[in-house]
Amino acid sequence: MRAFRIKINSWTSSFRYPNLISGFQPTLEVPPISTVMGLINSALGKYLENCEIELAYYFDYKTKAIDLETIYQIKANDKNFPENTVKPNVIQREFLYDCHLFLYLANEKLLSAFYKPFFQLLLGRSGDLASIESIKEVELQEINNARIGGQVIPFNGNYLPGQIQALPKYFSNTIPRKNIGTEPYSVISYHNPIETQLMGYHPSFEEFDSDIYLHKFTI
């Protein structure tokens, strides 16, 4: 399979648990598909819709740490619109340091946006600035019994071990945003790759030791 590999780096990343509200905010060890779709939208400078998506990615990082972060809570009124009041709150935020995302796309129109992204790329929060290190064409070899790490895999039908989280594929282009395509995923860290019975793709001469899983969906 012919594809294009985009290597994206950031000093820090943090991917919050979607439904956790507490004084301590842990991070997922792999970005959800919705985060990757956000990167693609930022590069394009527009909201993608009514199209079929095929993508694969692998994510790793050097270490974890915890920082203090001020968040601003905005209360909604009875019509679910924000009120003109803001309440600051200090929380502990877990983050990842020295992060690398390897994104694989087959669609050349999507790829072209990454040569000159329209908006700043982010890997998580608004302060997690990301940059593109390289873009290259690669050949992916289809294989059985893929070895998977540094990825999220749909749990239904695959039932892989890992951290099980309900994650969205996408968000609506509305205020407030709405989750789209939420389903359970196995979050499999690059620290703990697993042998599977999945069909996957093997990237030759890559910087990491994992096969990759191809996500296909319509938005």
| Cβ contacts of 78-87, under 8 Å, gap ≥ 24 | 80/176
Q: Give me 110's structure tokens.
A: 């999507």
Q: What is the pLDDT of residues 126-158, one digit of tens each?
A: 999 999 999 999 999 999 999 999 999 999 999
Spatial neighbors of 151 by CB under 8 A, at least 6 apart, are 30, 56, 57, 58, 59, 188, 210, 212, 213
The whole-number pLDDT of residue 197 equals 96
Q: Look up residue 112 and give its amino acid.
A: S
Report the domain count for the chain: 1
Q: Of how many residues is the chain composed?
A: 219
Spatial neighbors of 78 by CB under 8 A, at least 6 apart, are none
Q: What is the pLDDT of residues 97-117, one digit of tens each?
A: 999 999 999 999 999 999 999
Contact 43, 105 (CB under 8 A): no
Torsional sign, CA 69, 72, 76, 81:
negative
Q: Which of 96, 114, 35 is nearest to 60 (CA)?
A: 96
Q: What is the pLDDT of residues 30-71, one digit of tens each?
A: 999 999 999 999 999 999 999 999 999 999 999 999 999 888
CATH number at residue 22: 3.30.70
Mean pLDDT, the chain, whole residue set: 93
Show the domain range for 62.
2-218
Q: Give me 164's structure tokens.
A: 């099980």
DSSP state of 204: T
Question: How many CB atoms within 10 Å of residue 75?
Answer: 10
Q: What is the pLDDT of residues 200-216, one digit of tens each?
A: 999 988 999 999 999 99
Segment among 19-23, 180-184, 210-214 with least mean pLDDT = 19-23
